[in-house]
Structure 1
Amino acid sequence: MHAMQRLVVLLAVLSVATTASAQGPTAAPATPTPTPTPVAPAPVAGTTNITGVLAKAGQFNTFIRLLRSTGVAEQIDNQLSSSGNGLTVFAPTDNAFTSLPSGTLNSLSDQQKNALVQFHVLSTLIPMSQFDTVSNPLRTQAGNNSPGQYPLNVTAEGQQVNISTGVVNATVDNSLYSGDNLVVYQVNKVLLPAALFGSPAPAPAPLAPAKKKGKTPASVADAPDAADASPDATASHAAARVTGGGLAAVLALAGVWWGL
């Protein structure tokens, strides 16, 4: 009996083993594919930063320092984000500042430095192609554009753009940036306003022709009388004086003689 049970169990085990061998190894459960995390869109570029534009261009370190110290850089950035008119900035190079007389910037107060920087900023965007159609004088953010204050006059011929402040004449050397309601031009001189630096000294007047040297002719009143000036007349007057004197002496002697 026990032998029969063991035989049945053995046959059952063999049957299971044969079935498993026929089916192959049991496949491992499939690992679920992870759902990809959506990639966030790249942030939209913000408003152009004026100091960033100048720093990328290089050779504008002095102007960048002035923009920051006066607060004009922040003002420009705020205007770009809120105004639809756009801005035009004339940026002097470091060499342009170096060319100024020694101590020029140090002689200015904080308020004057602010006005100097504002003088390089226009409240409108002017592409290079439109400089020959603008109306002079241009109004800068420094304020009054009347003569002797903050006038800025631009003349253009093709790609040649000249700028006059009443104190200096500068040229636009290059367009550094254009876009995002901002255009930045490189200028070869610091734009000095007349309100801060005055007008250039006028050219000296031409000298009057030198007078010819010589004695001034004597007037007629000072000239000696013609008769008196004659040598003969002078001799006659002298003889008369002598003759008159001798006659008087003779008469005097005759009177004494008759008296005797």
Structure 2
Amino acid sequence: MMKTMPRFTFSLLFIFFFHCSTIVAQAPAPALSPGPAAPPDIYKILTKAGQFTVLIRLLRSTQVGNQINSQLSDSKSELTFFAPTDNAFSSLKTGTLNSLSDQQKVMLVQFHLIPSFISLTNFQTLSNPVQTQASNTYEFPLNITTSGNQVNMTTGLVNTSISGTVYSDNQLAIYQVEKVLQPLGIFAPRAPAPAPAPAAPKEKKKSAASKSPVASVDASGAVGVKRNGIVSIGFSLLLATIFL
């Protein structure tokens, strides 16, 4: 009896440790906490959506795209962007974009950007003119109205509507539009320059008649002739008339 006791104890210990190790091996690994989500990148979003090649090029050349991504890196920042398609740009008059200055191109892109997040159901709450990142003055008016589920907008030169949602995440909303929003401050026809004032009439030269001899009559009826500034008086003629 004394000899079998250690073997029995050892067997119990072996079973105990084997059971414990099995429980530990089967325990689930602790879940890793997810890191902060990366901010949205407007270049990646538009590239993935397709049909925004011209807009992406314009965002890069004006650096407005970089400014948008910089703003979105702050989780408190909100933006709404109206994205014209390649067809929208192709419908512009040939050479329109090339005729704009660098500053006008920046203002054009910023005119499509609203500094707040607006869902499709909240456009009806906006007050006109809507403030954009370009300006809300009379030169850059953007008026937005709704009709049922349709969102319409006008710049005074262009009327269009939202044709679809490209992206929305409660911080950034990108909506597709089929026309480029053309603000009055850049595309309004300019008044023609006033015509130059007519030239003043030239002073007329003295006529030849003013240089010819001028007959003059004095109080006595005598006639004299003024030639080259010298006046001869017909006094002798007067005396001859008296004595005749």
Superposed pair shares fold, TM > 0.5: yes
Q: State the match for 2:202 in structure 1.
A: none
Determine which structure has the larger helix proportion and give its number: 1
Question: What does the per-residue CA deviation read over 1:102-143, in whole Å, with 9 as the maximum and x for residues that have no partner?
Answer: 000000011110110000000011110011121000111012
Match of 2:100 among 75, 96, 108: 108
5 Å-filtered alignment, 1:200-219, equals none
Q: State the match for 2:176 in structure 1.
A: 186
Question: What does the per-residue CA deviation read over 1:16-43, in whole Å, with 9 as the maximum and x for residues that have no partner?
Answer: xxxxxxxxxxxxxxxxxxx9xx998775
Contact 1:48 1:180 (C-alpha < 8 Å) held by counterparts: no
Q: State the match for 1:5 in structure 2.
A: none
By how many angstroms is 1:167 displaced? 1.0
Match of 1:134 among 117, 126, 131: 126
- Unaligned stretches of 5+ in structure 2? 1-24, 192-244
Find out whether 1:67 has 2:59 as its counterpart.
yes
Q: State the match for 2:146 in structure 1.
A: 156
Match of 1:177 among 123, 142, 167: 167
Q: State the match for 1:196 in structure 2.
A: 186
Contact 1:173 1:187 (C-alpha < 8 Å) held by counterparts: yes
- Runs of 4 or more, structure 1, over 6 Å off, are 38-42
- Unaligned stretches of 5+ in structure 1? 1-34, 202-260
Aligned residues: 167
Q: State the match for 1:25 in structure 2.
A: none
Q: State the match for 1:22 in structure 2.
A: none
Contact 1:91 1:186 (C-alpha < 8 Å) held by counterparts: yes
By how many angstroms is 1:146 displaced? 2.4
TM-score, normalization: structure 2?
0.63
Match of 2:50 among 54, 58, 81: 58
Counterpart of 1:91, as a letter, is A
TM-score, normalization: structure 1?
0.59
Contact 2:117 2:170 (C-alpha < 8 Å) held by counterparts: no
Q: State the match for 2:155 in structure 1.
A: 165
- What CA RMSD, in Å, does the superposition of the two structures yield over aligned residues? 2.5
Counterpart of 1:194, as a letter, is L
Contact 1:50 1:76 (C-alpha < 8 Å) held by counterparts: yes
Contact 2:81 2:174 (C-alpha < 8 Å) held by counterparts: yes
Counterpart of 1:105, as a letter, is L
By how many angstroms is 1:83 displaced? 5.7
Question: What does the per-residue CA deviation read over 1:212-250, in whole Å, with 9 as the maximum and x for residues that have no partner?
Answer: xxxxxxxxxxxxxxxxxxxxxxxxxxxxxxxxxxxxxxx
Q: State the match for 1:93 in structure 2.
A: 85
Percent same amino acid among aligned pairs? Answer: 52
By how many angstroms is 1:199 displaced? 5.8
Q: Distance in 2 between matches of 1:83 and 1:122?
A: 16
Determine which structure has the larger strand proportion and give its number: 2
Q: Distance in 1 between matches of 2:146 and 2:31?
A: 50
Which is higher, the Rg of structure 1 or of structure 2? 1
